[in-house]
Amino acid sequence: MPKKIKYKRILLKISGESLKENGYSCGIDFKILGRIAQEIKEVTERGIEIAVVIGGGNFWRGINASALGMERAAADYVGMIATVMNAVALQDALEKKDVITRVMSAITMKEIAEPFIRRRAVRHLEKKRVVIFAGGTGNPYFSTDTAAALRALEINAEVIFKATKVDGVYDKDPLKFKDVLKYDKLTYLDVIKKDLKVLDLTAITLCMDNNLPIVIFNITKDGNIKNAVLGEKIGTIISREVS
């Protein structure tokens, strides 16, 4: 029996960190990048429209630089530029696999990427191009999670898939503690009240106000992007009601 396709248009949020090889402090692992590109390709082959928001944490974390004394706004702008590097690398990896893509940046860098124009992004998706959103929201003080929520709403995506390095949302950090409990479903309010820190508050409240579900899943496992997008019960779903 073919698997049931659950979604028509989705937004995939990939952290910069997930592109980095284990043990390295920064950079891109081309094997990981190639695997992610292959899985995105398989999703598009099912007819699902996919937009990607990519972070830049494998090169730069604005908040860390700010803690070391750099002006927060300046540090965040460097982080936005880091996301453009990842977006162009992902575009290359996808095009090597014959997936048609467009990179759109919130910060004008027109020699490298198209400027973000909402209606144009939607048109690209309708034409079955993978759209990669770079540059975050274009504003300091906002995370790429917030950019993911904002762009998902702007393009009318049905859901955000947030890729992480663990299997979902836990009551405690599973990389630090052993006695952890994994949640299959949570409400937005649970995430806020329990201070679970899976997304920042700006992103979670934006999703809550607009009833946009978020699926948190592990991108380090082969096939998980495809499995999550095709509606398999993996990871943790955050929505208005736990049914």
Tokens representing 45 are 């082959």
Contact pattern from residue 143 through residue 182 relative to ligand GTP, giving x for each residue in contact according to CB under 6 A and a dash for the rest: ----------------------------------------
Taking the least distance from each CB to ligand GTP, the nearer of 97 and 240 is 97
One-letter amino acid of 173: D
CB of 28 to ligand GTP, least distance (A): 20
CB of 61 to ligand GTP, least distance (A): 27
Taking the least distance from each CB to ligand GTP, the nearer of 105 and 164 is 105
Contact status: 50 vs ligand GTP (CB under 6 A): no
The pairing of strands 114-115 and 49-54 is: unpaired
Contact status: 119 vs ligand GTP (CB under 6 A): no
User: Contact region for ligand GTP (CB under 6 A) — 111-119, 152-160, 202-210, 220-228?
Assistant: 111-119
Nearest to 130 by CA among 97, 159, 82: 97
Nearest to 158 by CA among 233, 49, 232, 236: 49
Residue with tokens 């934006």: 206
What residues between 127 and 146 interact with ligand GTP by CB under 6 A?
127
Report the largest interatomic distance among the alpha carbons of the chain, rounded to a whole angstrom: 57
Q: H-helix or E-strand containing 147?
A: helix 144-154
Give the interface with ligand GTP as residue ranges (CB under 6 A): 102, 110-115, 123, 127
